[in-house]
Structure 1
């Protein structure tokens, strides 16, 4: 029992990361409700706003999502008229995802969200960038194991 302190919740890195992810995602909810999408849908849209016309598997790789999770998200976005999915002519096994005009217009509304989140949290840009850098460093080490 000499390592019992290592099992205390306050000594875990996983717990505050879990809580902050949950809380920050919750902060997004009212802003995303205004534009009619969920947080996971917002993540997909950010990928497409950056690179329209990506194959489904590339979106999944960027978001660390498998096709079983991603496909229902894409179907819901498509039913909202925000994206369209098309099979690639050269290889019909590949499905590419494209923004519709409504999806492109949604980006204009979504551009305000990051600033609103930062204002809501009340933290300096420098602190957020430092946190992001540290988290990405940890994620990179985990991925390269």
Structure 2
């Protein structure tokens, strides 16, 4: 007999609930800028790394081109960034902040902060929790896609 799975004891459920609450927090925090959370993480990457190819940007923020392209089009339409052919390789599309996108960095940072003050963790606790979540992510990412295939054959 299988061991019962208790919902409130599941790490995945706790992460899911935290994800929902984070989304709500960022929806409210980013509302004055008309930004979604996905747009915000794209801007964070550009503020940190500068101009990136669409491919490199997607890898940095974990979004595929099907999700990233419409998001970038919207940010471009709203004046945050530009997309242009790479001078080094015309097959690549580079993404760069506009003057507006660069000027808004400080205002967005001031509004959102680092979440430390909002969630009541010390800098050390915050880093430890982030590292633990990253470890969970990495362990799950290491599970091969065919991991459960042999279980399907048993039923």
Normalised by the length of structure 2, the TM-score is: 0.84
Between the aligned partners of 1:63 and 1:45, the Cα distance in structure 2 is: 10
| Alignment match, 2:70 | 72
| Alignment match, 1:2 | 2
Between the aligned partners of 1:79 and 1:50, the Cα distance in structure 2 is: 22
Normalised by the length of structure 1, the TM-score is: 0.89
| Alignment match, 2:96 | 98
Q: Counterpart of 2:76 in 1: which secondary structure? A: helix
5 Å-filtered alignment, 1:97-116, equals 97-112=95-110, 113-115=112-114
Contact 1:35-1:109 within 8 A present in 2 as well: no
Q: Give the unaligned 5+ runs of structure 1.
A: none
* 1:10 Cα deviation after fit: 1.9
Between the aligned partners of 1:129 and 1:96, the Cα distance in structure 2 is: 32
Q: RMSD over aligned Cα, in angstroms?
A: 1.5
Q: Counterpart of 1:84 in 2: which secondary structure? A: strand
Q: How many residues align?
A: 142
Q: Give the unaligned 5+ runs of structure 2.
A: 144-155
| Alignment match, 2:22 | 24
List per-residue Cα deviations over 1:61-120 (Å, max 9, x = no partner).
Answer: 1111100000011000000111000011332221000000000011011222124x3323
Between the aligned partners of 1:64 and 1:17, the Cα distance in structure 2 is: 18
Contact 1:53-1:98 within 8 A present in 2 as well: yes
Between the aligned partners of 1:9 and 1:24, the Cα distance in structure 2 is: 20
